[in-house]
């Protein structure tokens, strides 16, 4: 029924038949337990079904679910979440627009930048990934994923990531630059501070809005609540999703109130969403912020990331890139990668591929995974590498 009744994204899905998930583990319907070393692709940052998140969802469930399209009714659960975000973000990021996913957040950000500047040109970076809807795909750098769906948005230029010289191509005709501070699906490519500093300066000089996509790297994943905090370089527009919802679907676009207000006039309803700011998702997201702060998970991400890299030593590993618990490991080729993923799956550990780097695997476990579980998982990976 899975193959017959549900649309498939590939002809070879991972194929676990799920029964339940809790903490750092997933169980299939036969009772086999799997250590989740990818956290649903950086979604379960606080683990599966964290008690604080579940309690927040249950509390809201007793009050109301969807009542009206986003922005019409005053809902405390949305207001409280926006206030929590404002408290942990720079002062210029004080206004939140809640949506349903990362790609929706990026779509909204691109629209806002065009509306605010009156310009049409967009700049993005090669090897980037911002989502699979038309606008987000238009500013993603993976040509293999794009060619079948053209024409996409016009007036998009791609620059080399970490190439300061390329920034000279940004001028006063550009509405926005969109960037992942840590390029996730390119295999954890980390921005250099000099590059981000130069990018911020170039945008300021030309009146260009800087959009930072923190969909994978946000919510403590890199050892800071947001990865731009490593650089002291701040965006004009921030986008969030994945780990933001603790397992429920939610995204956010965050900017300055004076910029965001452009969506309210000429035309009014400049951006709309029926289900954005869903009450259950907002409850979960607010609880995620509370858990990350209360359990000091940013610090733990640094410590546990260092533990993994200290243990993951093997001659089959060609390169390893890591910041916090956002880790990419390069092998020799795609065949070796497929063998390793299969071995780990058979032995109860979930590792996974990157979209745009076919011979690397990702490690992005829950930020609160125990050291014992980390050592157990790494040992199985090492055993799998021995078999290659």
Residue 341: CATH number of its domain: 3.90.1150.10
Long-range contacts of 13-16 (CB under 8 A, 24+ apart): 14/345, 14/350, 14/352, 16/345, 16/350
pLDDT confidence band for 357 (50 / 70 / 90): confident
Distance, first Cα to last Cα, the chain: 34
Same domain, 231 and 290: yes
pLDDT in tens, 259-315: 999 999 999 999 999 999 999 999 999 999 999 999 999 999 999 999 999 999 999
Percentage of the chain beyond pLDDT 90 is: 93
Give the span between the Cα atoms of 89 and 259, in whole angstroms. Answer: 16
Is residue 36 domain-shared with residue 64, that is, in the same domain?
A: no
Residues 97 and 237 in one domain: yes
Same-domain pairing of 199 and 339: no
Residue 62 φ/ψ region, left for φ over 0, alpha for ψ in the -120 to 50 degree band, beta for the rest: alpha
Give strand pairing partners of 255.
95, 237
pLDDT of residue 11: 81
Of the three residues 274, 294, 314, the one that is the final residue of a domain is 294
Q: 290 burial class (0-12, 13-18, 19+ CB within 10 angstroms)?
A: middle
- The last residue of one of the domains, among 228, 259, 294, is 294
Distance CA 322, CA 330 (A): 12
Claim to verify: residue 376 and residue 345 sit in the same structural domain: yes
Residues 307 and 280 in one domain: no
pLDDT band at 45 (very low <50, low <70, confident <90, very high): very high
Mean pLDDT (whole number) for 137-149: 92
- Say which DSSP state 249 is in: -
**Per-residue pLDDT averaged across 18-35, rounded?**
97
Same domain, 229 and 94: yes
Number of separate domains in the chain: 2
pLDDT tens column, 48-92: 999 999 999 999 999 999 999 999 999 999 999 999 999 999 999
Confidence of residue 14 (pLDDT cuts 50, 70, 90): confident
C-alpha closest to that of 48 among 317, 243, 330: 243
Inter-residue contact 231 to 196 (CB < 8 Å): yes
256 in the same domain as 367: no
Residue 70 shares a structural domain with residue 219: yes
Alpha helix stretches (DSSP H) within the chain? 2-5, 39-42, 51-61, 76-88, 102-117, 134-138, 193-206, 257-260, 279-294, 297-311, 334-346, 371-387
Same domain as 311, residue 238: no
Q: Which of 294, 324, 353 is the last residue of a domain?
A: 294
Reported as a pLDDT band with limits 50, 70 and 90, residue 8 is confident
The domain that holds 96 is classified in CATH as: 3.40.640.10
Domain residues for the domain of 15 are: 2-50+295-387
Are residues 301 and 281 both part of a single domain?
A: no
- In this predicted structure, the answer to whether residue 171 has a pLDDT above a threshold of 90 is yes
Domain shared by 11 and 76, yes or no? no
Q: What is the distance between the alpha carbons of residues 357 and 329, in angstroms, rounded to a whole number? A: 10
Q: Which residues fall within 8 angstroms of residue 381, CB to CB, at 6 or more apart?
A: 312, 340, 344, 349, 351
For the residues 229-238, what does the mean pLDDT come to?
97
pLDDT class of 108 with cuts at 50, 70, 90: very high
Partner residues linked to 198 by β-bridges:
none
């Amino acid at each position: 029924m899975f193959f017959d009744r549900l649309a498939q994204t590939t002809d070879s899905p991972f194929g676990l038949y799920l029964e339940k998930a809790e903490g750092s583990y997933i169980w299939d319907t036969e009772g086999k337990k799997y250590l989740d070393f990818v956290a649903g692709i950086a979604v379960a940052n606080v683990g599966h079904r964290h008690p604080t998140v579940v309690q927040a969802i249950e509390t809201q469930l007793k009050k109301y679910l969807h009542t009206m399209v986003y922005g019409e009714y005053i809902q405390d659960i949305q207001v409280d979440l926006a206030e929590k975000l404002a408290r942990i973000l720079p002062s210029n990021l004080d206004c939140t627009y809640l949506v349903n996913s990362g790609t929706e957040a990026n779509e909204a950000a691109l629209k806002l930048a065009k509306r605010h500047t009156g310009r049409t040109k967009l700049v993005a970076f090669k090897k980037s990934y911002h989502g699979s809807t038309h606008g987000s795909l238009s500013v993603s750098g993976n040509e293999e994923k794009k060619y079948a769906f053209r024409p996409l948005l016009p007036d998009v230029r791609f620059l080399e990531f970490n190439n300061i010289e390329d920034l000279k191509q940004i001028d006063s005709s550009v509405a926005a630059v969109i960037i992942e501070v840590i390029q996730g699906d390119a295999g954890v490519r980390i921005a250099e501070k000099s590059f981000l500093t130069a990018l911020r300066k170039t945008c300021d000089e030309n009146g260009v809005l800087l959009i930072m996509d923190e969909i994978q790297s946000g919510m403590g994943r890199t050892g800071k609540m947001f990865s731009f905090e490593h650089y002291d370089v701040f965006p004009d527009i921030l986008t969030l999703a994945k780990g933001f919802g603790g397992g429920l679907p939610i995204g956010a676009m965050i900017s300055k109130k004076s910029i965001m207000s452009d969506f309210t006039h000429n035309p009014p309803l400049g951006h709309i969403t029926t289900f954005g700011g869903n009450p259950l998702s907002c409850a979960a997201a607010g609880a995620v912020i509370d858990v990350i702060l209360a359990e000091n998970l940013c610090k733990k991400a640094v410590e546990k990331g260092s533990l993994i890299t200290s243990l993951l030593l093997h001659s089959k590993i060609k390169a390893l890139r890591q910041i916090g618990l956002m880790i990419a490991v390069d092998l020799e080729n795609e065949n070796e990668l497929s063998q390793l993923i299969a071995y780990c799956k058979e032995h109860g550990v979930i590792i996974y591929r990157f979209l745009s780097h076919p011979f690397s695997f990702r490690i992005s476990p829950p930020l609160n995974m125990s050291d014992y579980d980390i050592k157990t998982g790494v040992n199985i990976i090492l055993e799998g590498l021995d078999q290659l």
